[in-house]
Amino acid sequence: EAQVTQNPRYLITVTGKKLTVTCSQNMNHEYMSWYRQDPGLGLRQIYYSMNVEVTDKGDVPEGYKVSRKEKRNFPLILESPSPNQTSLYFCASSSRTGIEQFFGPGTRLTVL
């Protein structure tokens, strides 16, 4: 089954404790993105990647890092999480020739 998976689905952590949210897709897509979703703000793009070792900032990259060492994986790293990063996070992927993004199920992060 073609899908985007994220782990963990739920995470509660404390300020300053480094964490990684994993994202993996099995569709051989070139493009991958991370978004955060907050009430009333829609989805805002954090980072995106056009292929292995190629990443670029979205609209809200501060406080986040990403890496794309393999085509299928695109982890989101929070080196020092803060309470304003409490949000619902989505990973998405798409092919280079298509505009359709496939989204993962989301990760609910709470930073205390």
Smallest distance from other proteins to CB 41, Å: 6
Q: Which of 7, 22, 52, 58 binds other proteins (CB under 8 A)?
A: 58
Beta-carbon contacts of residue 16 (< 8 Å; ≥ 6 apart): 80, 81, 82
Residue 11 makes contact with other proteins by CB under 8 A: no
Which one of 11, 19, 52, 88 is in contact with other proteins (CB under 8 A)? Answer: 88
54 binds other proteins (CB under 8 A): no
Preceding peptide of 83 cis, ω within 30°: no
Contact residues toward other proteins (CB under 8 A) are 4, 30-31, 33, 35, 37, 39-45, 48, 50, 56, 58-59, 88, 90, 92, 94-96, 98-106, 108
